[in-house]
Amino acid sequence: MLQQFLPLLIMTFFICVFIVLMQFLWVHLKDLVGKGLSIDVIGELFFYAALSMVPTALPLAVLLASLMTFGNLGEKFELTALKAAGISLFSIMKPLIIFMVLLAIGAFFFQNNVLPVAQTKMWTLLFSMRQKSPEMEIPERTFYDQIPGMNLYVDRKNQETGVLYDMIIYDISRGLDNSRVILADSGKLNFTEDKTHLFLHLYRGEMFENLKDNAMGSSSSNYLPFRRESFTDKQIYFVFDANFNMIDESAMRNQYIGKNIKELSQSIDSLNHMVDSIGDTYAEDIKTRNYANVPYYKNIRTDSGMQRVVTPPVTLAEPLDLDSIFAGSTPSDARNIIAQALAKAKRQKQDYDFKSTLVLEQAKLMRRHGIELQRRFTLSFACLIFFFIGAPLGAIIKKGGIGTPLVISVFLFIVYYIFDNMGFKMARDGKVLVWEGVWLSSAVLLPLGIFFTYKAVGDSQVFNMDAYTNFFNRLIGRRPKRGLVRKEVIMAEVDPQRAQELLARLLMTCEELLTLSKRPPLKRLLHPANYAKANAQLTEVIDHLSNSRSNVVISRLNDYPFRIMRRDLPSVIKTTQELQRMLASSSPTSPL
């Protein structure tokens, strides 16, 4: 079993890693293109990205490999031969179950020890690439703004020599008030040896420069001096770092993605204590705030000295007439009072909104730490669930290869991915508890794994639509109908006398059962009805009359139920009486 399973698992794992890695490349393509990054830097990013994608690729690989393994065994009848030899499905799965437990343990240690380091390295590299300056690829007849503080326009350029013609340069590196405009017939762009400065060599042109820093008088002067310069050969340096500089990864290491279980637990405790402390401080501030010039505390003198006590509630002898505030005031004074009160209320509301935002951000950060803590365990559990879905399902469908298993795996993984993302977003936004959101996908698929395992052990036909149709028909009370048709070749003709005897016995038994069914419950309990006798007589009637040459008789036989129950007695009696009349009225020459 291990020889069958392990090669498929390794193959599907690398295929899944490649697929999710291409999806990662597609998302972050704009951060990599046009930056002049070396192959080793891009390779390092892909390596850490591949490690970070293991939690996504491994469960899918386990599902696909288990489906293919047991599908191949079922398609080649090897699974049937093993069961015929007395080996149960659990015994067949035992080596793989042991391996999956070891794989789950390894996945846990990978999530806790390797994944935080890989994610820290990956995001550090990605943010460093985003901050790197793009390659100098100057377009023609378009303003180029990728040089910080400068816009460059080139009418045409020589692809072989790199000479730029009819250049216009807007230099705003020193601010708009001290900007420079440079016109040149031609020029060349180069980097210094350390690639920290851009060297611009210009030929035959003019430069216009504002001189606000050197302006005479105060800043309120109505004029702004400038300088105009004509040149035939001019060299200018701009600060432009073209090197790839790694940012400090310590900041990323302190984020929730770069911590293991122990560090996450400590961070959650610290954040929880911080949120509680901030909330207590804000609550105390709201409680002790001075409202309507009534202080919350007041100082009283006692024998032991001054003591601060809570001010007792203020009670009014009669309701306060708010309109009396404006009595004797002019309309302008009333407007000023309302404006001051409204401004004070707005300031207080803004203060509370800011404090609320601070608490919510800390609570959200605490939830993100909790999500990462729970995800240290979900990978292991997901691998086990997908194995107990894939292995029994492969044994049921008995389809090998990669076609059918791939379709089923993709469908199940999409369901898992949707519920996983939905649970993550609800937990992140505080709609549900953190553990409920993180474990939602596992809770949805766990019953599916139990169901498929139960059905596979009992050799049930899960995909037999007739079984589901019969179940729902019984659930809604719809009884299946017989499908008898007239035989083309009849080996034994119907004996009318024998048929009448069988119908009479069936009718008598059904009438007795109907009489018993109308008795009180206690009498029915003391004298139970024997429906087995009626069903045996019904079988004899069907077997004998199914050789009839009359379509009408066959049609009446189809009205009988497959099994007589209490509610079927009136219809069975009616059908039996109709058959008796048909047999009695038939002539000897008519085909019975």
pLDDT in tens, the chain (592 residues): 889 899 999 998 999 899 888 888 888 777 776 666 778 888 888 898 899 888 888 998 998 899 888 888 888 888 888 888 888 888 888 899 999 999 999 999 998 888 888 888 888 888 777 665 555 567 788 887 767 777 888 888 887 777 888 888 888 777 666 778 889 888 887 777 666 677 788 888 888 887 765 444 444 455 567 778 888 888 887 766 555 556 666 767 777 788 888 888 888 888 888 888 888 888 878 777 777 677 777 777 777 777 777 777 777 777 777 777 777 677 888 888 888 889 988 988 888 888 888 788 888 888 888 888 888 888 889 899 999 888 888 888 877 677 777 788 888 888 888 998 898 899 888 888 888 888 998 898 898 888 888 878 776 666 555 565 666 666 666 666 777 888 887 777 888 888 888 889 988 888 888 887 777 766 656 556 678 888 888 889 888 888 888 888 888 888 888 888 888 888 888 988 888 888 887 655 555 6
Position 385, amino acid: I
Torsion of CA 89, 90, 96, 102, to 10 degrees: 170
Distance CA 436, CA 470 (A): 37
Joined together, the tokens standing for residue 352 give: 């509370």
Contacts of 439 (CB under 8 A, 6+ apart): 374, 378, 423
From CA 232, how far away is CA 127, in angstroms rounded? 42
Amino acid at 201: H
Distance of alpha carbon 25 from alpha carbon 533, whole angstroms: 73
Q: Helices 54-75 and 2-27 meet at what angle, rounded to 10?
A: 140
Cα dihedral 284, 285, 291, 297 sign: positive
Give the strand pairing for 297-302 and 226-239: unpaired
Q: Could you tell me the strand order of the sheet in which 197-210 lies? A: 150-157, 164-171, 180-191, 197-210, 226-239
**pLDDT at position 463:** 57
Q: What's the pLDDT at 353?
A: 85
Exposure pattern of 269-303 as b/e (b: 16+ CB <10 Å)?
eebeeebeeeeeebeeeeeeeeeeeeeeeeeeeee
Rg from Cα positions in the chain: 43
CA distance 324 to 465: 81
- What residues contact 399, with CB distance under 8 A and at least 6 apart? 71, 74, 75, 405
Q: Any bridge partners for residue 307, and if so which?
A: 300
496-525: string of b/e by CB count within 10 Å (b at 16+)?
eeebeebbebbbebbeebeebeeeeeeeee
- The pLDDT value recorded for residue 215 is 45
Q: Identify the bridge partners of residue 300 per DSSP, sorted by sequence position.
A: 307
Joined together, the tokens standing for residue 436 give 């409920």
Tally of residues, the chain: 592
pLDDT at 362: 82
- pLDDT score of 244: 54
- Global pTM reads 0.60
End-to-end CA separation in angstroms for the chain? 62
Nearest 5°: phi and psi at 182? -120, 130
- d(CA 581, CA 583) in angstroms, rounded, equals 5
Q: What pLDDT does 105 receive?
A: 93
Q: Of 255, 217, 240, 71, which Cα lies nearest the Cα of 144? A: 240
